[in-house]
């Protein structure tokens, strides 16, 4: 780490209010392709660098006391990419789950897969289950890897589960839908980050993201590090979250 960067990191860290750390951060990890292209490298190389970044960000978030981090690693729409890129991403994800298992466990992290798992290669789901079971009693951050995930698909799947359980129309409530999402114990997303300058949420956490604070940065995902996470957290801490109320009401709470 260069001296400037270390000074910047230390001063950002000093500004951070430990009492206002978001419980759940969602990250749309975008820009791997552009990162690679600007260096004359293959898109796959960009994804490899992106996968490396995950470690830095998860470890730092855990150290800061973040309780949940959802990473958008593969969307239901991403199957439309060239098949060699889809295969490379699946290989990377599988390798990541296996390679990082022991380190994540040692760091006290929990592990969950979110998405339409029945459409994924059984080996990925099996490896994820091993991690989930191994880490289920850990006290730290829960790493929620979103693979073959779509916010609309998650809501559709919740509605199907509710119908299969025999509920009637007048029994449908927001609480019931929330209780039938993937991993219902996960709370709403407080802060949603998207890298690479795109300003969309692209079908990520539609239900839990209803009141997310959005943070967009031009930094490409393979360049997103602990300093960038600190900037996002500070931006979040400077927002006023009103949840439909007015400022004066919040001051009373
Ligand atoms: C978007 O960048 C990124 C993805 C579709 C995949 C995200 C995957 C990773 C970060 C690596 C694998 C993750 C783990 C957890 C092992 P893009 O390809 O759309 O970039 P571009 O818009 O610049 O082309």
Question: Does some domain include residue 127?
Answer: yes
pLDDT for 1: 61
pLDDT score recorded for residue 89:
98
Token code pair at residue 185: 């114990």
- Residue 77 belongs to a domain: yes
CA of 234 to the centre of ligand 1 (A): 25
Where are the extended beta strands (E) located within the chain?
Answer: 24-28, 68-75, 110-114, 142-149, 191-194, 213-216
pLDDT in tens, 156-186: 999 999 999 999 999 999 999 999 999 999 9
Distance between Cα 30 and ligand 1 center (Å): 6
DSSP 137-157: T--S-EEEEEEEE-HHHHHHH
- 214-227 confidence digits (pLDDT tens): 999 999 999 999 99
Position 133 in a domain: yes
Q: Burial level of 56, CB count in 10 A (0-12/13-18/19+)?
A: middle
Angle of helix 83-106 relative to helix 122-135, nearest 10 degrees, comes to: 20
Where does ligand 1 bind, in terms of residues with CB under 6 Å?
29-34, 47, 50-51, 54, 71, 73, 78, 89, 92-93, 96, 145, 196, 221
Cβ atoms of residues 219 and 228 within 8 Å: yes
Percent of the chain whose pLDDT exceeds 70: 99
8 A C-beta contact, residue 46 and residue 36:
yes
Catalytic residues: 30, 78
| Domain range enclosing 227 | 20-196+204-236
Domain count, the chain: 1
Is 241 within the bounds of a domain?
A: no
Point out the ligand 1 atom lying closest to the alpha carbon of residue 47: 11
**Which helix or strand (DSSP H or E) is residue 3 part of?**
helix 3-15
Distance CA 102, CA 28 (A): 25
CA distance 113 to 87: 18
Please give the angle made by the CA atoms of 2, 106 and 52, to the nearest 5 degrees: 45
| Inside any domain, residue 190 | yes
* pTM of this structure: 0.96
Element (H or E) spanning 162, and its range? helix 151-164
Give the domain CATH number at 122.
3.40.1180.10
Angle, in degrees to the nearest 10, between helices 43-64 and 226-237:
60
243: in domain: no
């Amino acid at each position: 780490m260069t001296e400037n960067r270390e000074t910047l990191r230390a001063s950002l860290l000093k500004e951070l209010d430990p009492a206002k750390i978001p419980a759940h951060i969602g990250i749309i990890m975008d820009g791997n392709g552009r990162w690679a292209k600007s260096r004359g490298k293959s898109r796959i190389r960009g994804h490899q660098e992106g996968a490396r970044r995950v470690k830095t960000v998860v470890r730092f978030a855990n150290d800061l006391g973040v309780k949940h981090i959802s990473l958008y690693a593969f969307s239901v729409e991403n199957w439309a990419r060239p098949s060699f890129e889809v295969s490379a991403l699946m290989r990377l994800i599988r390798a990541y789950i296996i390679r990082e298992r022991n380190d994540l466990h040692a760091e006290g992290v929990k592990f969950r897969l979110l998405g339409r798992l029945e459409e994924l290669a059984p080996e990925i789901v099996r490896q994820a289950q091993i991690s989930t079971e191994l880490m289920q009693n850990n006290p730290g951050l829960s790493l929620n890897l979103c693979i073959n995930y779509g916010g609309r698909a998650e809501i559709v799947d919740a509605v199907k589960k509710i119908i299969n359980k025999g509920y009637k129309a007048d029994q449908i409530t927001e609480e019931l839908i929330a209780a039938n999402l993937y991993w219902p114990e996960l709370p709403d997303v407080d802060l949603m980050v998207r890298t690479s300058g795109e300003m969309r949420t692209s079908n990520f956490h539609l239900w839990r993201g209803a009141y997310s604070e959005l943070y967009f940065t031009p930094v490409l995902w393979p360049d997103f590090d602990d300093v960038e996470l600190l900037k996002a957290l500070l931006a979040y801490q400077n927002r006023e979250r009103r949840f439909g109320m007015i400022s004066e009401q919040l001051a009373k709470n």
